[in-house]
Every structure is written in structure tokens, then in C-alpha cells.
DNA sequence: GATGAATGAGGATTCATTCAT
DNA sequence: AATGAATGAATCCTCATTCAT
């Protein structure tokens, strides 16, 4: 019956702190970029600096945890949309969710290529995301909703690209990404276009020069 | 007879150092992001730390100088392409040049929204770039090469977005951006698509919340 | 039973460090002037550089803290002497204490007109000092111990002046200030002298050109 | 006939530059204190930084040269006043000149105890100043204008002390030193006072602990 | 002799991380 | 497990001084 007693156990406190920290860090990174200090994050979470390090041994670990959160959310969304009737619409919805998530997070662009993304867990999550999006994309392709030479990894990559396209506008026009999402989607649909000039990425090994794919 | 003397003047050395520095800084920022230290840049350029500051009073000034370099290159390219016969092809060529330039520069994404971009010169260069690309886009639109609801600022923004899309792949596949450039271009051409859901940006005032355009 | 535990608490250590730092900084500023580096001060206090900044956010804050220390000591001394029977002797004693305190501090002269003296706390302390010394002076004047045209602010200013007079001698003759204190006091007592040629300062707003008093 | 030709010789230029520099440095030190940079001084003098160093090998040398200038002026003044009829008035006039000179120079107080004052030339000038002021003081003492236990070195030291007394007021009340000069003079005249409690300084070896006088 | 570019030691300050309580 | 004080490496930047032209 652990967890049902009135007084919060030390364990429960820890869980709560972890959530507090994750939330505070997400907000801090989103607003200020990856250069926010651990001190600022601790302050936002209302805990002492030492507590941050008890939960996340290094700043990179914290960053990784946040990325993991985002990735898990996306994986979940993609998973659910696998059940949808209209495969094309499902893909579009997934991308909407994806770009919207990124749009709230100034850190994402900065974080690409940081050591944090070399955390095994993050890499695994990216792999899983690519897999499920691959499935989503297969269905859309098979249903004729998108052209034939688009892969799931393309879709995953486009999320960041679309976000970046709109990024400079976001402070003034927080919804501007919708324009570029649609534009990208139109590209994905143009069935009559000649084939894309460069082979699709097979694996997504971020910043890993050994993965000459 | 200026410039024909054999011995390098102090002035000539200074110009050389400035070039050395600009090159070293471009490379350093591209590889390591905006957080490379001025010391690292000095070392790469083979000069003392003080010399960096003699040429660029602050780190932001150096960053601005580099951005200016990039912007000027793009402005020049766009200017020249204004003379081309095939307006659609000209636009595509401009975008190719643009994305290629960005692809060499990891700092670009990070730099969006930094104070350096509030340097008047940088803002002016962005304005000029938008203007000339607007002209380029007008011609392409009028010739029917691209759909009617695309503006020059869209194009400028897409440069960064396309680059970002491919960015995670670049260490392993340095040409991967070509795929996403083509994909984006297909989007620009899909004449039968419904109109884009969000109005085009009118001005590009990076990170300026007052510019609700 | 607070304070009776054997092991020194972190808090107690901090207080000790703060005292160590204040002492080290006072000595360092006194010996070397305001240009001693924070590093030197840290070293003298036997702590790391970061610790100095944890206690005093900027060098000016540290300087202000030291000045505050000195001022508080003087205010306390003046306060106590307000109770003395012989008003003239009380004033003389206060000045003795004052000059003696300054004599240990080479930084005092340099610090006049530095931003640190614009710290509100320091200004307030100077105001308070002037007030209590004004009272001390009033009593001395009323008792006929000093001439009629001398104000408390004159006295406060004289402290620095007497110290400065002897300053060049202090390394070789640490007590030399006593000679000039006595000389100044004789000036304060010369009842038969004609009135001083320039009006007394009303307020002491150090380095504030707007305070044309 | 050197120096009478129309075209300025290199030598004449150098002399002019030296004067320019001395003037600029005096003004700069007076306004900003000893921490003005050599660059600022060069700029004020309208010459390049290298030129400053050709004339004054180090910053301390420049500081010494300026102090020398001031000391020479004071020596000259004292010399001339040796001829005056009223010995007491002559001393008072000398002190007026002296304090006035110091009042224009924020650097003076800061410079006491700097290595620059250990320049042999500066020490010699101080010795000469003390000598001639000693003579001036002797005459005043003999004429009964001042008390018997005051020496020339006392007078020289008082110059700095009187200046310092008024220093905090000078930005707002540039003439305030007159008040404290008069006050000091009254002290010097109080014939009925008991003897000063500490022996007079015999030599003035600024900041030289070996000169236990 | 004058110039001003280059040097590099040194300074204030920040911040991730460690550790005693 | 939480705290927050201490650490010290790293950063940007300044400035006296040197030196090639």
C-alpha cells in the first residue's frame, strides 16, 4: 500500500521533485535556450541546486530527459494515429502535433548535435519514433495520400525543419508554423513531381559521422 | 604605385589577419556553435586573443560580422539571378546557393534571436536580402513557376528551414539538404493546392515581438 | 540550545568565511589600495575565488561592505561619546578613534568618489554618521570647547584630511597622525581667529555635483 | 640656428609632442584618476599609443613626470615667496597655491605610495621642496607668524591633507578647500596651544619603511 | 621618430559540479 | 534525500607594453 499513507514518503517527495524539475527545466530551456543555468532551473522548480544534481547527474542528463519526454509524447501520438481511418489525415495530424511541440521549445534547435543526443536512451527513442512514424508514413503512402518516395525519417526530420522555418517569426506570430507545415505537406503530396534528387535517409544517427547512410 | 611594394605593410598584415579571423570564426562557429570561446577562435586563426578583440570589439560584433558576410553573399547571388532568363530556375538556383551556404554553418540556427542579430547592420542586410528575394520571387510567380501565395520572405525563411531539416544528417551525408530543397520546391510549385492557411509574413523582424505583421 | 552543538554547521562555516573575507579584504585594500584583485583577496582569506563572489556579488559590493564596517564603527563610537561629561574631550576622542581607523586603511582615500560610495547603504551610513557627529559637535561648541563656526560635517571631513596629512609617513611612523590630529584640534579651538572664509558644508553628498550645498 | 628654420625639425616635433602628452596626461589623471588608460591619454594628446611610450617608457614614468611638474611648480612658488616681506603671509600664500594645485588633480591622492614616487627624480624634487619650504617656514616662525613647533615638512604634508579634507566636496563646491586651509592655518598660529604630541617628521621618505624618522 | 597592430598577462565574473551538514 | 556553501575551470574583455613598418 505504499503511496497511500497520509504523510508523503521520502520516495513520493522525490517523484514529485523530479516532476517539478522536469517541468521547470522544460519551461526554462524553452524560454531561454540551452544556456539557462542549472541555478535558474533549480530556482524555478523551487528546490536547491543540489537537488537538481541528485536527480540528473549532469546538465546533459537533464537535457536528455527533457528530449526523452518530448520524444515519448511524439511516439505516443504517432502510435495512436496508427489506428486512424484516414492515413493521410493521420500523418498530417501527427506533423501538426510534432511541429507544435517544437514550436514551444526554443531549446530544440540548439540541442541538435549536443552530446545529450548521444545518450543511448535518446537515440533509442529517436529510433522508436522513426519506426512508428515509418509505419504511419507507409500507410499514408499506400493510401495514396503522399508521394511514393517519402520515408518516415523524412517526416521526422521535417518536423524540425518546419519549426525552424517559422522560428524567427514565432515571437510575433506564434502560429506562423501552420503556414509552413501546410507548404511542406503540399510538397509531400505533389504526386507529379520528379523523384527527389537524393536518397532518403535510412537511419537517423544524429551527428554521428560514422553512420554514413 | 600603391600595392606594388614587396614587403607586406602593417596594413596588409591587418587585412590578412582580419580575413584569417573571419575564416577561423566562421569555421569555429559552424563546427561548435555559438558557444566556442574567443580563445578557441584566436587559436584557430593563429593570433593572440587580444587581436580578436582589436578587430571585433565584442563576441557579438564578430558574430554579426560573420552573419553579414553570409547575408552579403546571398544578396549578391540573388542580385545576379535577377538577370536570369528562366525566373523559376533562378529562384531554385538562389535557394540552392542559400541552403548550401547555411549547411556549412551550424551557428546560423543558434544565432537566430541573439543580440547580434539586433545589430543595425545585420537587420539592414536582412531587409535588403528580403527585398531582392522578393523581386526574385515576384518574377518566378509571374512566370507561373511557383504558386501565387508565396512571398520573398517565405523563401528567405525556407532557407533556414531546409537547412535545419537536413542538419542532423549533414555530418554523415553532407549533401542531404538537396533532397529537402527539392521537396520544398515541389511544395512551392503545387499550383493545385488550396491556399496556405496562415497569412504570409510581411516583414522579417527577427525576434521582435512588436512587429506583429 | 542553538549554538551548543559541537560540530560546526555549514551556516557557522559561512559566517566564519564571511568574517575571514571581510578581514582579508580590509587588509588587502588597506595595504594595496582598491586595485587589489579579487583573486588576491580570496587567497588571503584562504578560500576559492568563487566563494568571494558568493558572499559579495561584485567587487564594489565588497568595497561597500568594508566601508560600511568602518562607518558603523565610527557611528557607534560617536554614539557612545554622546554620553560623555566633557563634550570637548568627547569630540577629541571621537576624532582620535576616527583617524586611527582610517590610518589602517589605504583604500579609504581612493574610494572617495567610487561607485561603491553610491551604494544606498553607504550613503545612508554617511548620513547617519554626519548626524551623530553633528550632535557631538553641537555639544562641544555649546560647551565652549571649540569655536562657533565648525559643523559636524567639517569634523567628518577632517578625519580623512588628517589621515591623509600623515599618510606618507605612516609606513615609517605609524603614529604620526597624532601630531596632525592635535594640530587640527588646535585649529578647531582657536577662538580668537577670524571666521572661516568659506561656508560650512551642509550635507555630505560625496561626488554629487547636484548637491551644491 | 637650430629651431629658427621654418619647417619644424623632428626634434621640435618631439618637444611639442612631449608637451602635448604631459598636458593631456595631467588633465586625464586629474579628471579620471590614475586608472585612465595610456590609450585614453594618447587619444587626448592626439598621438598614437606608441608615441606615449617613446616619451615615457612606462606608465609610472609618465606619472612621475607629472608629479615632477607639480613639484617644480611648487618649488618655484616657494622660491619666489622667500623674497616676500611678510613671512607669515608668504607661507599662507604658498599653501594656497599648493592646495589649489592639488585640488585640480584627482590623481594626487591616489598616487601617494605608488612606485612612481620612488623615482629618484621625484624623491629629489620632494627633498628640494621640503628644503625651500623649510626656509619659508623658518622665516614665518621667526617672524612670530606661526607657532614654534612647526616644520617645513609639516607644511608640505598639510597640503595633501587640506586637499583631502575638501576633496569629497570639490565636485559640488570647487572652492571648499579654502575653508580648510584657513582652519589649518589657524591651527598653525595658535601660539598658546601646548606642544604637539608627536615629534615633527625630519625627512619625507614617502612610503619608505626603512626611513624610521 | 611616429604609428598602430599584435601580444598576452591579468581581472571580474559565471556556472556546472562536489560535498559537508 | 535535500540543502546550499565551496570550488575552480572557463569566459569575455582590458590594457600596458612591444615591435614591424
**Tens-place pLDDT, residues A59-97:** 999 999 999 999 999 999 999 999 999 999 999 999 999
Average pLDDT over every residue of D197-207: 72
The answer to whether B179 contacts A190, with C-beta atoms less than 8 Å apart, is no
Residue numbers in A near B212 (CB within 8 A): 172-173
DSSP A117: G
pLDDT band at D65 (very low <50, low <70, confident <90, very high): very high
Segment B18-24 mean pLDDT? 96
What is the per-residue DSSP string for A133-161? HHHHHHHHHHTTSS-TT--HHHHHHHHHH
> Tell me, what's the pLDDT at B157?
93
Query: DSSP secondary-structure letter at A146?
Result: S
Q: Do B172 and A212 touch (CB under 8 A)?
A: yes
In the structure, how far is the CA atom of residue D50 from the C1' atom of nucleotide F19, in angstroms? 10
D212 → closest Cβ in C172, C182, C188: C172
pLDDT given for residue C3 in this prediction: 44
pLDDT at D213 over 60: no
Strand F nucleotides with an atom less than 7 Å from a protein beta carbon: 1-21
Contact D183 C178 (CB under 8 A): no
C10 touches chain D (CB under 8 A): no
Report the SS3 class of residue D117: helix
CB C206 within 8 A of CB C126: yes
Report pLDDT for B212: 44
Amino acid A37: pLDDT: 96
Give the model's pLDDT for residue A2: 46
Q: Check if A209 contacts B (Cβ < 8 Å).
A: yes
Residues of C in contact with D103 (CB under 8 A): none
Q: CB-hemisphere CA count at 13 Å for C75?
A: 15
Q: What are phi and psi of A4, to 5 degrees?
A: -105, -5
Domain ranges for chain D, please list them. 1-57, 58-213
Give me the CA C48–C1' E17 separation in Å, rounded: 15
Rounded Cα distance, B157 and B180, in Å = 14
Residue C91 has pLDDT above 80, yes or no: yes
pLDDT tens digit string along C174-190? Answer: 899 999 999 999 999 98
Residues of chain A with pLDDT under 50: 1-3, 209, 211-213
Q: pLDDT per residue over D72-100, tens digit each? A: 999 999 999 999 999 999 999 999 999 99
B11 CA: nearest nucleotide by C1'? E5
Name the DSSP class of B115.
G
Q: What is the pLDDT of residue D76?
A: 97
What is the CATH number that goes with domain D1-57? 1.10.10.60
Query: C57: exposed, middle or buried (C-beta count within 10 Å: 0-12, 13-18, 19+)?
Result: exposed
Q: What's the CA gap between D79 and D82, in Å, rounded?
A: 5
Query: What pLDDT, in 10s, does the model give residues D106-120?
Result: 676 666 656 666 788
Assess whether pLDDT exceeds 50 at residue C2: no
In the DSSP assignment, the letter for residue A118 is: G
Which residue in this structure is represented by grid cell 541573439? B114
Question: What's domain D58-213's architecture?
Answer: Orthogonal Bundle (1.10)
CB of D57 lies under 7 Å from some atom of strand F: yes
- pLDDT (0 to 100) of residue C212: 44
The residue-averaged pLDDT of D13-25 equals: 92
Lowest mean pLDDT among A62-71, C41-50, C79-88: A62-71
- Note whether A166 contacts B157, CB cutoff 8 Å: yes
* Structure confidence at residue D168 (pLDDT): 85
Of D168, D173, D187, the CB nearest to C186: D187
Q: What share of chain D is helix, strand, coil (3-state, %, to 5)?
A: 65, 0, 35
pLDDT band at B2 (very low <50, low <70, confident <90, very high): very low
Residue C152 has pLDDT above 90, yes or no: yes
- pLDDT more than 70, % of chain D: 86
Q: Specify the pLDDT at position A65.
A: 93
Torsion angle, CA of B126/B127/B130/B134, rounded to 10 degrees?
-170
Q: What is the pLDDT of residue A120?
A: 87
Smallest Cβ–Cβ distance between A172 and the set B112, B168, B211 belongs to B211
Cα–Cα distance for residue pair A48/D114, rounded to 1 Å: 46
Scanning A95-114 for CB atoms below 8 A from B yields 106, 109-110, 112-113
Distance from the Cα of residue D207 to its chain's centroid: 16
Residue with cell 616619451: D55
pLDDT score for C95: 97
Of the CA atoms within 13 Å of residue B161, those in its CB half-sphere come to 30
Between CA A154 and CA A138 the distance in angstroms is 12
Query: For residue B210, what pLDDT is reported?
Result: 53
Q: Do D168 and C157 touch (CB under 8 A)?
A: yes
Confidence category of residue C213, pLDDT binned at 50, 70, 90 = very low
Q: C203 versus D131: which is more confidently predicted?
A: D131
pLDDT of A79? 97
pLDDT-wise least confident of A56-65, B3-12, B18-27, C65-74? B3-12
d(C-alpha C140, C-alpha C146), whole Å: 6
Chain E, protein-covered positions (CB within 7 A): 1-21
> B186 falls in which pLDDT band (50, 70, 90)?
very high
The whole-chain average pLDDT of chain B stands at: 87
Mapped to the 3 state alphabet, what secondary structure does B141-201 carry?
HHCCCCCCCCCHHHHHHHHHHHHHHHHHHCCCCCCCHHHHHHHHHHHHHCCCCCCCCCCCC
Residue B197 Cα, gap to closest chain A Cα (Å): 6
User: What is the per-residue pLDDT across D100-153, written as a single tens digit (0 to 9) for each?
Assistant: 988 777 676 666 656 666 788 988 999 999 999 999 999 999 999 999 999 999
The distance (Å) linking the CA of B55 with the C1' of F9 is 27
Is the minimum distance from the CB of B115 to strand F below 7 Å? no
Confidence of residue C198 (pLDDT cuts 50, 70, 90): confident
Q: Which of A160, A176, A197 sits opposite B164 (nearest CB)?
A: A160
Amino acid at each position: 500500500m505504499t503511496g497511500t499513507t497520509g504523510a508523503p514518503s521520502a520516495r513520493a517527495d522525490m517523484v514529485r521533485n523530479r516532476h517539478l524539475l522536469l517541468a521547470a527545466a522544460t519551461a526554462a530551456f524553452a524560454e531561454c535556450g540551452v544556456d539557462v543555468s542549472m541555478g535558474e532551473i533549480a530556482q524555478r522548480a523551487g528546490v536547491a541546486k543540489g537537488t537538481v544534481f541528485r536527480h540528473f547527474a549532469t546538465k546533459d542528463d537533464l537535457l536528455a530527459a527533457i528530449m526523452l519526454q518530448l520524444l515519448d509524447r511524439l511516439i505516443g501520438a504517432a502510435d495512436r494515429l496508427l489506428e486512424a481511418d484516414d492515413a493521410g489525415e493521420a500523418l498530417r495530424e501527427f506533423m501538426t502535433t510534432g511541429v507544435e511541440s517544437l514550436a514551444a521549445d526554443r531549446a530544440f534547435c540548439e540541442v541538435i548535435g549536443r552530446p545529450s543526443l548521444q545518450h543511448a536512451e535518446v537515440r533509442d527513442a529517436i529510433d522508436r519514433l522513426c519506426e512508428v512514424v515509418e509505419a504511419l508514413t507507409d500507410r499514408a503512402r499506400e493510401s495514396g495520400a503522399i508521394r511514393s518516395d517519402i520515408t518516415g525519417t523524412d517526416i521526422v526530420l521535417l518536423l524540425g525543419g518546419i519549426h525552424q522555418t517559422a522560428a524567427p517569426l514565432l515571437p510575433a506570430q506564434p502560429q506562423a508554423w501552420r503556414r509552413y507545415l501546410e507548404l511542406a505537406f503540399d510538397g509531400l503530396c505533389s504526386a507529379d513531381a520528379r523523384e527527389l534528387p537524393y536518397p532518403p535517409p535510412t537511419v537517423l544517427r544524429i551527428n554521428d559521422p560514422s553512420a554514413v547512410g
